[in-house]
């Protein structure tokens, strides 16, 4: 089993270092769901690096629809292909990805430049991982 600090994604205090009381207070507030109302806005935009690396492809056949503008693609049109393989017109997907970080169709998230959000996302993933670890442990003991 990973050690406590590694599992929580924290650093032990170094010599001469004092605990960060603001951080403790923030965690306390979080544990009482103080921040829940704040999550009403969308996650932050995709990072510049990821945005630039999204490939543009040329379509080889007609048919299929861009799910943002609902127009059908024609042969020879160019489209952006997200990591989840979903296609969108360049002019349609850009405004979306400069607003938030997920595919409009399947919600697969991409990396952002927002440190706080990335920390929040990692924490969410760790919580999920912990949950499935506990579930596995439980199943291996009682089944």
Q: Give the binding range for other proteins (CB under 8 A) out of 3-11, 52-60, 91-99, 127-135.
A: 91-99
Which residue among 50, 54, 59, 68 contacts other proteins (CB under 8 A)? 68
Q: Give the binding range for other proteins (CB under 8 A) out of 9-17, 90-98, 114-122, 123-131.
A: 90-98
Residues 70-89 that bind other proteins (CB under 8 A): 70-71
Q: Give the binding range for other proteins (CB under 8 A) out of 9-17, 34-42, 112-120, 125-133.
A: 34-42
Q: Which residues pair with 81 in a beta bridge?
A: 87
42 binds other proteins (CB under 8 A): yes
Whose CA is closest to 55, among 35, 84, 75?
84
The whole-angstrom separation of Cα 56 and Cα 79 is 6
Residue 55 or 95: the one with the smaller Cβ distance to other proteins is 95
120 binds other proteins (CB under 8 A): no
**How many residues lie near other proteins (CB under 8 A)?**
18
Give the sign of the dihedral formed by CA 22, CA 25, CA 30, CA 33. negative
95 binds other proteins (CB under 8 A): yes
DSSP string, 90-103: HHHHHHHHTT-SB-
**DSSP three-state, residue 56:** strand
99 binds other proteins (CB under 8 A): yes
96 binds other proteins (CB under 8 A): yes
Instruction: Give residues with Cβ within 8 angstroms of 96, minimum separation 6.
Output: 68, 88, 104
Give the total residue count for the chain: 143
Which residue among 67, 111, 118, 121 contacts other proteins (CB under 8 A)? 67
Contact 64, 72 (CB under 8 A): yes
């Amino acid at each position: 089993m990973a050690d406590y600090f590694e599992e929580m994604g924290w650093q032990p205090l170094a010599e001469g270092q004092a605990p960060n009381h603001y951080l403790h207070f923030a965690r306390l507030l979080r544990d009482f769901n103080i921040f829940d109302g704040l999550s009403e806005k969308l996650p932050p935009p995709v990072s510049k690096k990821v945005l630039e690396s999204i490939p543009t492809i040329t379509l080889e056949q007609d048919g299929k629809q861009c799910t943002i503008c609902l127009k059908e693609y024609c042969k020879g049109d160019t489209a952006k292909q997200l990591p989840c393989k979903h296609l969108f017109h360049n002019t349609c997907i850009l405004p979306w990805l400069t607003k938030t970080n997920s595919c409009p169709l399947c919600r697969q998230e991409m990396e952002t430049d927002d440190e706080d959000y990335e920390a929040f996302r990692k924490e969410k993933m760790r919580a999920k991982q912990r949950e499935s670890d506990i579930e596995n442990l439980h199943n291996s003991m009682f089944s």
